[in-house]
Amino acid sequence: GDLREALGEYETGELLARRAGWLYGEAKCLQGRGVTLKLLGEPHKAPPFYQRTLSIYRTLGMTGAEKTMLLNTASLYGTLGQLAEAEEAIVRALALTDDATGDHIHAMALVNWALVLQEQARFDEAKHALRRSLLASRDSGSLYAQAVTLETLARVRSDAGQDARAIRAYEDALRLSRQVGNRNCQVDSLTGLASVKLRTGQIDEAAEHLETAKDIAEETGHLTGVVEILFLRGALSCAAERYGDALNHLDRSAGMAAEGNVLTLPRIRTVAAVALLETGSLGEAANSADQAAEFARRSGQRLLCARALTARAAIHEAAGDIRRARAVRDEAQALFAAIGTPVHFRTSAFWRTEPGARPAGPVRRRPRPELPADAESRFETYLTRHFDDVTTEPSAGS
């Protein structure tokens, strides 16, 4: 239907409900206005409506509705690139119930929290949240939540430079998501596998994963997946030194990301800066790297900021400004060190590794036994396979 028309109807409904003293009706109309603004591509106008809706649900004592609305609020702030506000909303949602409830929504809230932590490169905290999510998904019997939990863990492992562990988690997430028919998770797992395999030199496999992901995303309209597929096509083209093709893919990806996936923009702009540098377009490369670094710094995406700064240092060096190059590179290295990024992974382009810092060639992975047939034993296998290094409470900011 017409979203503008719906917006007007929600506004009329809100006014009528307020005059009648019907708080619940007012809340539903406020919620509708906020969600519609987000769908219209005007998410910056939506927060007041979300906050007023939350206030009414809290007044009415509707804990379930409040929790769901807090998660929607976190999603809105993620769309706006405001990670601190997104995390605050998720933590408030989690405080309304606990892990013992065995609730699917609780499990997904923990996944969303882990995604926010991952974006900030707080990997230990993210892994702990995901372990809690896996346990909650077992208690609720939600294989859907288990699949999304493992896919999110794979992202964390990938960003931490743990390639073999990332591949294992992505493969298990893909298997589970196919079992339950979660096609968006299939796309996310396939693009994740493509990203890691590109970095480990398995170019043909990366391209195959992307092609499969594209077929699914075109059927489902999974916007985030399409943005990621275009981004990775750009990276594949860069790896093949087809920089014109790369920039075409990256421009399309950036245009779509700006409409609702802005946290991807620093990655896209950094890879574009690398491509532009390779073509000798130093001015455009500098602008792209500066945009990436500024956005990542503002949103708290530390790893992406470090990568953007590394690209900027290379551009300064290409322009002959060695002093500036050294200063910016030192800033990037300080960020990498604070995160704990492995030396081989401290590059501007995620598909490149520092020469000599790690063995060349594909990742060597341990053979894995077949998964048990029964659900409980299979769950225990996932827990020990993927969370064996999560044994103590994480330190804040790790």
Whether 15 maps to a domain, the answer reads yes
Beta strands in 225-367 (DSSP E): none
- Count, residues in the chain: 398
Whether 228 maps to a domain, the answer reads no
Judgement on whether residues 88 and 115 belong to the same structural domain of the protein: no
Judgement on whether residues 15 and 76 belong to the same structural domain of the protein: yes
Structure tokens at 369: 């036994």
Domain end, chosen from 46, 74, 96, is at 96
Whether 266 maps to a domain, the answer reads no
pTM attached to this predicted model: 0.89
Judgement on whether residues 85 and 51 belong to the same structural domain of the protein: yes
Judgement on whether residues 59 and 122 belong to the same structural domain of the protein: no
Residue with tokens 């590179």: 329
Structure tokens at 9: 């109807």
Judgement on whether residues 86 and 27 belong to the same structural domain of the protein: yes
pLDDT at residue number 367: 54
Judgement on whether residues 85 and 112 belong to the same structural domain of the protein: no
User: Which residue stretches of the chain have pLDDT < 50?
Assistant: 356-360, 397-398
Judgement on whether residues 90 and 108 belong to the same structural domain of the protein: no
pLDDT at residue number 370: 62
Judgement on whether residues 67 and 84 belong to the same structural domain of the protein: yes
Contact 37, 46 (CB under 8 A): yes
Say which CATH number the domain at 42 has.
1.25.40.10
160 HSE (CA, 13 A, CB side) = 21
Structure tokens at 275: 């491509």
Whether 136 maps to a domain, the answer reads yes
Whether 380 maps to a domain, the answer reads yes
> Which of the 8 DSSP states describes residue 46?
-
Whether 78 maps to a domain, the answer reads yes
Domain end, chosen from 79, 96, 113, is at 96
Contact 197, 215 (CB under 8 A): no
Whether 137 maps to a domain, the answer reads yes
Residue-wise pLDDT tens digits, 189-224? 999 999 999 999 999 999 999 999 999 999 998 888
Judgement on whether residues 119 and 75 belong to the same structural domain of the protein: no
Whether 226 maps to a domain, the answer reads no
Count of domains for the chain: 2
Domain end, chosen from 51, 69, 96, is at 96
Full residue range of the structural domain in which residue 377 is found: 101-181+366-389
Beta strands in the chain (DSSP E): none
DSSP string of 155-214? HHHHHTT-HHHHHHHHHHHHHHHHHHT-HHHHHHHHHHHHHHHHHTT-HHHHHHHHHHHH
Judgement on whether residues 81 and 6 belong to the same structural domain of the protein: yes
Among 277, 199, 266, residue whose Cα is nearest residue 235: 199
pLDDT at residue number 359: 45
Contact 269, 288 (CB under 8 A): yes
Judgement on whether residues 87 and 1 belong to the same structural domain of the protein: yes
Integer Cα distance of 266 and 219 in angstroms: 27
> Which of the 8 DSSP states describes residue 364?
P
Judgement on whether residues 79 and 109 belong to the same structural domain of the protein: no
Residue with tokens 């009706």: 25
